[in-house]
Structure 1
Amino acid sequence: MSDMHSHLAFVRTEMLAQQEPPIKEKGIVKWARSNLFSNWVNSVLTIVALYVIVRLIFSAGPWFLNGIWDTSSLAQCREILDGARGACFSVLSERWQQLLFGIAYPSDQYWRPTLAFVLMLVAAAPVLFVALPRAMLIITGLFPFVAYWLLWGGTIMTSVFVLIGVVVGYLVFTKAERFGFVLGLVAGLIAAVVVWKIGGAITPAVDGIMVLEPVASRDMGGFMLNMMLGVVCISLSLPIGIMLALGRQSHMPIIKGISVVFIEFIRGVPLITLLFVASVVLAYFFPPETNMDLILRVIIMITMFSSAYIAEVIRGGLAALPKGQYEAADSLGLDYAQAMRLIILPQALKISIPGIVNVAVGLFKDTTLVSVISMFDLVGMIRGPILASTEWNGVYWELYGFAALLFFVTCYSISQYSQWLERQLRTDHR
C-alpha cells in the first residue's frame, strides 16, 4: 500500500507565501545595474561622468554658497568677499525689474505684464490639455485682445472694436465660403477692415472707458519682450506654416510657385538679416504716413522666418501619410477643405509634433537676436544698461547664468509638454 501511495502526484492545497525579490532585482540597485552598470562600457562612462559631476560640484559649490545678495555694487561684493570665491548675486536682486520688464516700463505698472502672463497660462490651458472644459476656449479667444490692452494701455475700446472686427470677418467668411474659399477669405478680410475703420472713428468719442496708462513699444524690454515675441510669433507661424505646406503641395501652379519661392527664399536668409530688414527697410514698403511700430515689424519678420521652417516640417508629415488616407477621404465624398481638416491634417500634425517643437524652441531662443537692432530684451539689457553701469561693470556669470536659467526652464517645459502630448496621441501603439 505504501508503494502505491508513493507514486501519486503531490497536490498543494494552499499557496506559498509571497517572497521578496532578490536585492539585486529591485529598487535603486536594479535601476543602477540596468541603466548605469549594464556592461563595462556603460560602467566606465558612468564613473567618468560621476567624476566630472563631483569636480564641478566641488569647484562651483563655494562660488554659489558664498554668494552675496544684499549689496548695491560689485565693489561692495568684492569688499565683503575679501578675496574669497563667491558670486555677486546682488546684481539680480538689485536689477531684477530691468531683467524682467526692461529699463523704461513704468515700475508702478508691473502688475499689468504679470497679469497678462498669468492670463496667458489660463488661456493656453484648454488648447494644450483637451481634458479641460471646452467653454474655457472663450478665454483663449479673448486673451489676445485683453493682453494687448494690458501691455500697451490706452482705452479698452480699441481692443473691443478689433475683437468685433474679427468676429464679423469670421461670420462673413463662413457665409461667403460656399462661393469659394478664396472669395470667402477676401470678403471676411474686407468686413473686418471696415469694422476696424469704423471703430477707429468711434474710439475717440468713448476714450474715457477703462483707460490704462499708455506704454510705448520702445519701453518694452527684458524677458517680457522675449516672451511676447516668442508667444506671438509661434502662434502666428503655425497656421501660416500649414497654409504654406498645403500651398507647396497644391496642383495650382501659381499658388505652388508662390509657396515654393517664399519658403526657399526665407530659409536661405539668416534671421539676423531679416531683423535688420525689419529695422531699416520694411518701413519703406508702407505708405509714407504710416508709422509702423518696430515690434510689429520684428514680429512680421520672425513669423515669416519660422513659418517657412514649420511649413517644411508639416510637409514632411503630409508626405509620411499613406496614399490610402487621401483616397479614403475621396471615397467619403469630402471636398478638399473637409478632407484636410478632418482626416489629413490631424494625422500629419501628430507626426510633425517633434519637428514643430524643435522649431518653436529654436525660435524662442532666437528672439535674443533682437538685441542687435537696439531692442532691450533680456540679453540686450545685460549687454547694454546693466554692464554699462559703473556699479555692475564686470559681472558676467551671474547675469548670463540667470538668463540661461530662464530660457532653459521655458524651453524645457515646452519639450516636456511635447513628449507628454506624443504619449497621449500614440493610440496606434496602445
Structure 2
Amino acid sequence: MTDTNISFVRQEMLQGQTPPLGERGIVRWVRVNLLATPVDAVLTVLALLVLAWFLPPLINWLFIQAAWVGPNRSVCATVAQGGLQPDGWSGACWAFVNAKFGQFMYGPYPIDQRWRVNLVGIMFVALLIPLLIPKAPYKVLNAIVFFFVFPIVAFFLLVGGWFGLPYVETSVWGGLLVTLVISFVGISVSLPLGIALALGRRSKMPVIKMLCVIFIEMVRGIPLVTVLFMASYMLPLFLPPGVSFDKFLRALIGVALFASAYMAEVVRGGLQAIPKGQYEGADSLGLGYWQKTGLIILPQALKLVIPGIVNTFIGLFKDTSLVSIISMFDLLGTVRQHFNDTNWSSPQTPMSGLVFAGFVFWIFCFGMSRYSIFMENRLDTGHKR
C-alpha cells in the first residue's frame, strides 16, 4: 500500500536571502581591506590624514591656480592666494607645456615633415595592439611584420633620403620620438639576445660559456652612461680611417647590448627554476637540444620570469634619458632644454615641465606593468583544474 500523505516533503524551494550589509558592497570592502585589525584601522586613519594634508595643495597647484593657455611667462606670474603655496608661487604653468608640446613630442624634427613621425606612430599602434591581444588572429604574420618589416619602413620614413622624402639627420631628432625609438629597439633586440646569452651561459661547451660569462659580467659591471660615452666618443677612435656611422645608431647598439646583459640574467634565473624532471622527460622522448629548449624548457622559463623581463623593459625605457650625455635629447632632455627659453623663464616652468615628463613616463611604465600582470594571470595554469 502506497502512502499518499507527502505533506512533509517540500514542494517549493525557499528564495535566496540577500547577504547582510556588512558582508557585501563597499561596506565589506572597507571592513576587510581597511579596518580588518586595530593596526589596519590606525594605518588607515594615518593615511587619510596624510592625504588630507597633501592632496588639497597638490590639487590647488595642478588644477585650480594653474595657467592653461598664454603667450609667455606672464600668465604664470600670478602670486598664489590663500596661503596654500609658498610666497611667490602660483599654480602649474601648463601654458608652457602647451606652447612647447610639439617640441616635447618631436624635438627639432622639421615641422613640415612631422607627418612622417605621426604615420610611423599610427603604424606602430596598429601593429602592436593586435599583437598584445591573445585571441587576435594571424599572430605569426603580425609578429613578422612588427619586428622585421615595420622597423625597415620606419627607418625609411623617419630618416628619408629615398622616394622623394627629404633627408632628416638623427641629430635633429628629439623628444618622445627619441625615447620611443631607443626603447623599442632596445626591447626588441635585448630579449632575443638575452635569451641567447642565457642559453650560452648554461651551455656545456666551455668556449661559448666563457664568452657569454665575460660579456654579461663585463657589461653589467659598467654604468650605462659609460657605455653611451664609449659608443659615442671612444668607438670612432678604434675604427679605420674614413669609417664612421651615425651617432644615434651607436647609442642604439650600446643600449641594446647593455639591456641584453641584464635580460640574460633574468632569463637564466627562469631556466634554473625549471625542475630537472622536465629536462629528463624531454630526453626520454628523444627530443634534440633545440626541440627540448624551444618546446618545453624555454616557454616555462619565460613564463616564470615575466615580472623580471618587464622590470628590465621599464628600466630600459626610463634609462633613455641618459642619452643626453651624448648630446641627444629624449623627452626629459628636451623638456629641460626649454627651461632656458627666456620667453618662459619663471619659477613654475621647470616644475611644470618635469611633472609633465614624469606623467608621460609613468603612463608608459604603468601600461607595461599592467599588461605583464594580465599575462601572468592568463598564463598561470598552476591552480587550474
| TM-score, scaled to structure 1 | 0.82
Equivalent-residue separation in structure 1 for 2:97 and 2:368 (angstroms): 25
Greater CA deviation, 309-318 or 328-337?
328-337
Equivalent-residue separation in structure 2 for 1:213 and 1:399 (angstroms): 31
5 Å-filtered alignment, 1:86-125, equals 86-102=91-107, 104-125=108-129
Per the alignment, residue 401 of structure 1 pairs with 355
Task: List alignment gaps of at least 5 residues for structure 2.
Answer: 1-5, 82-87
Secondary structure of 1:213's aligned partner:
coil
5 Å-filtered alignment, 1:197-216, equals 210-216=163-169
CA deviation after TM superposition for structure 1 residue 9, in Å: 9.6
Task: State yes or no: 1:287 paired with 2:237.
Answer: no
Task: State yes or no: 1:390 paired with 2:345.
Answer: no
Per the alignment, residue 327 of structure 2 pairs with 374
Greater CA deviation, 29-38 or 288-297?
288-297
Q: 2:214 aligns with which of 261, 266, 286?
A: 261
Task: State yes or no: 1:231 paired with 2:231.
Answer: no
Task: State yes or no: 1:300 paired with 2:307.
Answer: no
Greater CA deviation, 72-81 or 228-237?
72-81
5 Å-filtered alignment, 1:17-28, equals 17-28=15-26
Secondary structure of 1:110's aligned partner:
helix
Per the alignment, residue 153 of structure 1 pairs with 160
Listed one character per residue, the Cα deviations across residues 181-233 of structure 1 (whole Å, up to 9, x for unaligned) are: xxxxxxxxxxxxxxxxxxxxxxxxxxxxx332211010110011011101110
Greater CA deviation, 76-85 or 284-293?
76-85
Listed one character per residue, the Cα deviations across residues 311-333 of structure 1 (whole Å, up to 9, x for unaligned) are: 00110100001111112222222
5 Å-filtered alignment, 1:312-331, equals 312-331=265-284
- 1:126·1:137 contact (CA, 8 Å) conserved in 2? no
Listed one character per residue, the Cα deviations across residues 334-393 of structure 1 (whole Å, up to 9, x for unaligned) are: 221221111111111111111111111011101101112221211211222x11111222
Equivalent-residue separation in structure 2 for 1:314 and 1:138 (angstroms): 23
Equivalent-residue separation in structure 2 for 1:38 and 1:360 (angstroms): 37
Higher relative contact order (CA 8 A, sep 6+): 2
Task: List alignment gaps of at least 5 residues for structure 1.
Answer: 1-7, 156-209
Per the alignment, residue 339 of structure 1 pairs with 292
Q: 1:61 aligns with which of 59, 66, 70?
A: 59
Secondary structure of 1:391's aligned partner:
helix
> Could you say if the C-alpha distance between residues 9 and 247 of structure 1 is closer, same or farther in structure 2, counting changes exceeding 3 Å?
same
| Segments of 4+ moved more than 6 angstroms | 80-84
Equivalent-residue separation in structure 1 for 2:319 and 2:222 (angstroms): 14
Task: State yes or no: 1:351 paired with 2:334.
Answer: no
Equivalent-residue separation in structure 1 for 2:106 and 2:185 (angstroms): 17
Equivalent-residue separation in structure 2 for 1:388 and 1:100 (angstroms): 18
- 1:62·1:85 contact (CA, 8 Å) conserved in 2? no
- 2:77·2:90 contact (CA, 8 Å) conserved in 1? no
Equivalent-residue separation in structure 2 for 1:375 and 1:136 (angstroms): 32
Greater CA deviation, 247-256 or 146-155?
146-155
Identity of aligned residues (%): 46
Equivalent-residue separation in structure 1 for 2:353 and 2:143 (angstroms): 38
Listed one character per residue, the Cα deviations across residues 125-162 of structure 1 (whole Å, up to 9, x for unaligned) are: 3443331111434532421111111211122xxxxxxx
CA deviation after TM superposition for structure 1 residue 278, in Å: 1.4
Greater CA deviation, 50-59 or 249-258?
50-59
- 2:104·2:334 contact (CA, 8 Å) conserved in 1? yes
- 1:371·1:379 contact (CA, 8 Å) conserved in 2? no
- 1:374·1:380 contact (CA, 8 Å) conserved in 2? no
Per the alignment, residue 35 of structure 1 pairs with 33
Per the alignment, residue 85 of structure 2 pairs with none
The one-letter code matched in structure 2 to 1:115 is L
RMSD: 1.9
Secondary structure of 2:241's aligned partner:
coil
| TM-score, scaled to structure 2 | 0.91
Secondary structure of 1:375's aligned partner:
coil
Per the alignment, residue 129 of structure 1 pairs with 133
- 1:67·1:88 contact (CA, 8 Å) conserved in 2? yes
Secondary structure of 1:278's aligned partner:
helix
Aligned length: 367
